[in-house]
Amino acid sequence: MSILVIAEHDNSSLKQATLSVVAAAKAIGGDIDVLVAGENCGAVAEAAAKAEGVAKVLVADNAAYGHFLGENLGELVAEVGKGYSHILSSAGTTGKDFMPRVAALLDVAQVSDIIRVESEDTFVRPIYAGNAIATVKTSDSIKVVTVRPTGFDPVAAEGGSASVEQLDVVKDAGLSSFVGEQKAESDRPDLASAGIVISGGRGMQNGDNFKMLEQVADLLGAGIGASRAAVDAGFVPNDMQVGQTGKIVAPQLYIAVGISGAIQHLAGMSDSKVIVAINKDEEAPIFQVADYGLVADLFEAVPQLEEELKKVL
């Protein structure tokens, strides 16, 4: 068996999610190659070559891949991947965009968002917002699979010494072009890989009040998330949404503030190791999954939390 892992990156650094995908590849077993497609992405290729368990890094460095357009990546990965038994990527928004194209071009099914490997052709994935867990077996010769990074502990980022090979495959479908982007700049840890996440919901009332959460997050080195209601109301940007249709997180500690605990929200955080809920409504469903529940007004509790943390940290 030979597995091609598609690296997730921003042309300058390798996303930790890729290390979790390599871990999923190891669970399948076989030779693991990593494809780094991007523009001026040499540093990413170097990082990928150091990851534990990687045999070879293939680099497709071209302007056509600079913005990870699904049409171009789809053609590239379908061509490079057709000699492999498995093609894996993370189930981030880039992987979700191009991988189904790869599957369709290869005329195979895709298994989305797996959280466990049972065998070479059998995988476990959540459905219905995580309210059911399905074990699915694919009969296709090439298995196209997206991986939920929180399902797999990342392999070590250092220690490997894979060879690096430049590919000379340029696929420019000419169907789409990049116009612009609005990236939320923040020094805070990435939500998907943060060890601690503190999230606010509709109970926060407005975007300014999220500053209270930022102060706590700064003390804890935490990432900040939100419920859909908080994003829809315009308190915070879309990329902070945690849930079935937002980001999936599984930190050591998840603190939900002013969040009721709708199933769609729980789908994104219920694999967290420890869950804390702060909510003034003692009937709020979030308390049914919380390890520690505090029934309190968040406008009193969050500043107190900041003070108490300062004492012990």
Ligand X SMILES: Cc1cc2nc3c(=O)[nH]c(=O)nc-3n(C[C@H](O)[C@H](O)[C@H](O)COP(=O)(O)OP(=O)(O)OC[C@H]3O[C@@H](n4cnc5c(N)ncnc54)[C@H](O)[C@@H]3O)c2cc1C
Among 108, 145, 224, 257, binds another protein (CB under 8 A): 108
| Residue type at 187 in one-letter notation | D
Taking CB within 5 to 8 Å according to partner kind, which of another protein, ligand X, none is near residue 111?
Answer: another protein
Spatial CB neighbours of 102, under 8 Å, sequence gap ≥ 6: 74, 77, 78, 81, 87, 110, 144
| 1/274 with CB nearer another protein | 274
Backbone φ, ψ for residue 220 (5° rounding): -95, -5
As given in the structure block, the two tokens for residue 42 are 């040499």
Interface characters, 202-221, with ligand X (x: CB under 6 A): xx------------------
CB of 193 to ligand X, least distance (A): 18
Q: Is 231 in the site for another protein (CB under 8 A)?
A: yes
Spatial CB neighbours of 23, under 8 Å, sequence gap ≥ 6: 152, 153, 154, 155
- Among 34-42, 133-141, 149-157, 159-167, which window interacts with another protein (CB under 8 A)? 133-141
Taking CB within 5 to 8 Å according to partner kind, which of ligand X, another protein, none is near residue 137?
Answer: another protein
CB of 199 to ligand X, least distance (A): 8
Spatial CB neighbours of 171, under 8 Å, sequence gap ≥ 6: 64, 72, 75, 76, 79
| 84/235 with CB nearer ligand X | 235
CB 134, CB 124: distance < 8 Å: yes
Among 55, 104, 157, 164, binds another protein (CB under 8 A): 104
Spatial CB neighbours of 295, under 8 Å, sequence gap ≥ 6: 279, 280, 281, 282, 287
Among 157, 164, 167, 263, binds another protein (CB under 8 A): 263
Residue where the block lists tokens 């990687």: 54
CB of 156 to ligand X, least distance (A): 32
| 44/49 with CB nearer another protein | 44
Q: Is 201 in the site for ligand X (CB under 6 A)?
A: yes
Residues binding another protein: number (CB under 8 A): 94
Which residues from 241-300 bind ligand X, rule CB under 6 A?
Answer: 241-246, 258-260, 262, 264-265, 268, 279-281, 284, 297-299
Neighbour-count burial of 54, counting CB atoms closer than 10 A to its CB (0-12 exposed, 13-18 middle, 19+ buried): buried
As given in the structure block, the two tokens for residue 62 are 């071209």
CB of 47 to ligand X, least distance (A): 30
Angle CA 145–142–250, to nearest 5: 10
| Residue type at 191 in one-letter notation | L
Interface characters, 283-302, with another protein (x: CB under 8 A): ----xxxxxxxxxx----x-
Neighbouring CB atoms inside 10 A of 230's CB total 28
Q: Is 70 in the site for another protein (CB under 8 A)?
A: yes
Q: Is 130 left (phi over 0), alpha (psi -120 to 50) or beta?
A: left
Residues forming the site for ligand X (CB under 6 A): 201-203, 227-230, 241-246, 258-260, 262, 264-265, 268, 279-281, 284, 297-299
